[in-house]
Structure 1
Amino acid sequence: MILGAFVFPAQASKVRDVREGNKLYAQGKYNEAMEKYTDALKKDANSDIVNFNLGASLYKKEDYAGALTHYQRALLGHDQKIKENVHYNLGNTLYRSGIKKENSDLKSAIASLEKALEEYKEDLSVTPEDPDTKQNQAFVGKELERLKKKLQEQQKNQQSKEPQQQQDQQKDQQSGDQKQNEQPKDKEEKKGGQLGQFNEEKEKQEPSTAQEQNQEDLEKNKQGSQQQNQQNQQDQPPRHGSSYKADAKELSEEEAKKLLENYSQNEEPRGLLILTPQKPKTTEVEKDW
């Protein structure tokens, strides 16, 4: 006589949630799929399969932070095949997460892509000839080089702007000093207007050559200012403009397009996992008659 152990209700419910979630995922109904996987996690929060599938759904919704959380939890399991797929999906997720930060936090984007390459490397350590992983690794490696060159270009541009800013500050200071020097002269003119007849008689006594001398001084100051500006322009470091694009273009357009197409084909999360009920243990009862 054979007695079979029955499947616990919680286990059966978890299996059903995962299967329904997988069907919804295949239909592109990622929100509904996530609800099913979340219900399954309530019954087994440490399930590597459920965390893996929930991570895939979050990735499709472009919630890369959430996807990273559940993929990392899936690594805590003991199934080596699941871990291989997790490393691959983590690489894709870290790339997508990083590239979104390119225009807002370039250093963080670079760090994310570096971590993505580490995940691909981990996957290739087990399956060194996996074509999808090798293609994605090559693509992300080129993207990382591009971002690093972009960061270097930004740093050079910032350095070239600093001397210009210092020169502008010096010009502003010189302009302020010149205005301060001119202020007493204005006061004297106003004061002279109040003295009346005395100043009129004094002006008659002074030769007209004083005005000519003032005009010559103004011309000399103007020429000296022009020469100083020309010298400043010669001394100013060259600005870095669009030279980055020319330097960074190492791949031909056709090669870059091919890499991008290959990555796009391989960025999908690796297949959903099916949770199967545990096989019941059987025990044989000896006849006692």
Structure 2
Amino acid sequence: MTPITEVEGRRLALSNLEKVLYPATGFTKGEVLHYYATTAEVLLPHLRDRPVSFLRYPDGPEGQVFFTKNVPPGTPDWVTTAEVPRSEGPARMVLVQDLASLMWAANLVTEFHTPQWVIGAPGVADRLVFDLDPGEPATVVECCRVAVWLRERLAADGITAYVKTSGAKGLHVLAGVSPASSVRATAYAKELAVEAEKAMPRLVVHRMTRSLRPGKVFVDWSQNAARKTTAAPYTLRARAAERVSAPVTWEEVSMCRNQAQLAFTARELMVRLLEHGDLLKPLLDAGRAGALPR
């Protein structure tokens, strides 16, 4: 029998709570739902008003994993949806605006991915993102060196950078920016990625070409494009263990000497929230956004 629960006045059917989704650690679907309920206060502001793409893994990371951008079948009518422009024509996507919608989406077992713009202004970036992806044998330790360089380079243009783990192998460097076209934001991000490669040619590559990436950090600037999305802060990832995309301090980044220092599980993240609160909260303050240079 599927338990029915009430969240903020909405009735939700939560299924398979005992199902182990992360076999490496025994982390269950019930624990996934508990994690999202516990982190909702910090997670929701980073999802609000951004159309959400779902990377679903209902049978765990070792089962079928598939990407859903359109509103999933069976979505309750009380979940907010919005029309989003796409090159192939407009589509409807989900907006996770409240706790009930978050718990409904979490019950689908998903990673949450969002664009760098809000629904009222599609294709107008208010965020800048650099996805730092290490090619083996490089690790997050090398990503940290690149992240520090990017932080200083952005600061030179009056832009304050923040950082989180990707929840996979690398780091995401983020900044709030005054609204600018996604095209302009992407061009600026690419300029900085090219500069980073010139400054650290043995460490950085700005092109996606696989053959160039072993031992280097790929600075993916392309996720600033209007059609692209990035794993949201605090989302669980479809990995062997219940790793989370966790905000970290710049001190932790500069002091990182091994991979384990910047790998956080759902349980560890809940402890970190008590200690740090939301390290990315300044990203939500439009008054702190920097202007992209002309």
Common fold: TM-score over 0.5: no
Q: TM-score, normalised by structure 2?
A: 0.22
- Report which of the two has the higher share of strand: 2
Of structures 1 and 2, the larger Rg is shown by: 1
- Report which of the two has the higher share of helix: 1
Structure with the larger RCO, 1 or 2 (CA within 8 Å, 6+ apart):
1
Q: TM-score, normalised by structure 1?
A: 0.22
